[in-house]
Structure 1
Amino acid sequence: MTADIRLPGDTVIISPYGPRPPLDYYLVMPEPGQAGGPSAPADGIVIEEFVLADDHTATGLDSAGWTATDGAWWSSAAFSRGMRTDPALRDRVVAVHRHDAEAVYRRLGGGALPDEATLRTCFHDRLPLDDSAPLLLGSPQVPEGFRERRVYRVLFAGDLDAERLQRLRAVWEMAPADRSADPMARVAGTARMHAGRDVLTWDLRRIGPGTAWCLDLTACLGGSSDNTVGSLLRELTAMMRHARLIPVTIERFA
Structure 2
Amino acid sequence: MLAGDHTATGLDGAGWSVTDGTWWSSAAFSRGMRTDPALRDRVVAVHRRTAEAVYRRISGEDLPGEAALRGRFHDRLPLDDSAPLLLGSPEVPEGFRERRVYRVLFAGDLDAERLRRLRCLWAMGPADGSADPPARVAGTARLRAGRDVLTWDLRRIGPGTAWCLDLTACLGGSSDDTVGSLLRELRTAMRHDARLIPVTIERFA
User: Is contact 2:112-2:133 (8 Å) kept?
Assistant: no
Q: Distance in 2 between matches of 1:181 and 1:230?
A: 29
| AA matched with 2:122 | W
CA separation of 1:123/1:110 partners in 2, compared to 1, >3 Å: closer, same or farther?
farther
Tell me which of 124, 137, 145 is aligned to 2:74: 124
TM superposition score normalised by structure 2: 0.97
Q: Distance in 2 between matches of 1:110 and 1:168?
A: 36
| Residues 1:185 and 2:138 aligned together | no
Q: Distance in 2 between matches of 1:136 and 1:166?
A: 32
| AA matched with 1:209 | P
Partner SS state of residue 95, structure 1: coil
Show the counterpart of 1:234: 184
User: How is 1:17-166 mapped onto 2 (pairs within 5 angstroms)?
Assistant: 51-166=1-116
TM superposition score normalised by structure 1: 0.79
Equivalenced residue count is 204
Show the counterpart of 1:253: 204
Query: How much has 1:72 moved relative to structure 2?
Result: 1.4
| Residues 1:167 and 2:131 aligned together | no
Query: How much has 1:184 moved relative to structure 2?
Result: 3.0
| AA matched with 1:104 | V
Q: Distance in 1 between matches of 2:128 and 2:57?
A: 48
4+ aligned runs moved over 6 Å, structure 1 = none
User: Is contact 1:179-1:185 (8 Å) kept?
Assistant: no
Partner SS state of residue 108, structure 1: helix
CA separation of 1:211/1:179 partners in 2, compared to 1, >3 Å: closer, same or farther?
farther
Q: Distance in 1 between matches of 2:20 and 2:178?
A: 40
Percentage of identical aligned residues: 85
CA separation of 1:88/1:115 partners in 2, compared to 1, >3 Å: closer, same or farther?
same
Give structure 2 stretches of 5+ with no counterpart: none
Cα RMSD between the aligned structures? 0.9
Query: How much has 1:229 moved relative to structure 2?
Result: 0.3
Q: Deviations over 1:60-93 (max 9, x none)?
A: 0110001211201100000010000000000110
Query: How much has 1:162 moved relative to structure 2?
Result: 0.4
Q: Distance in 2 between matches of 1:110 and 1:145?
A: 57
Tell me which of 152, 166, 186 is aligned to 1:202: 152
Query: How much has 1:110 moved relative to structure 2?
Result: 4.7
Q: Distance in 2 between matches of 1:162 and 1:91?
A: 17
Query: How much has 1:185 moved relative to structure 2?
Result: 1.2
User: Is contact 2:115-2:133 (8 Å) kept?
Assistant: no
Q: Deviations over 1:210-230 (max 9, x none)?
A: 100000000000000001101
Show the counterpart of 1:221: 171
Q: Distance in 2 between matches of 1:180 and 1:111?
A: 51
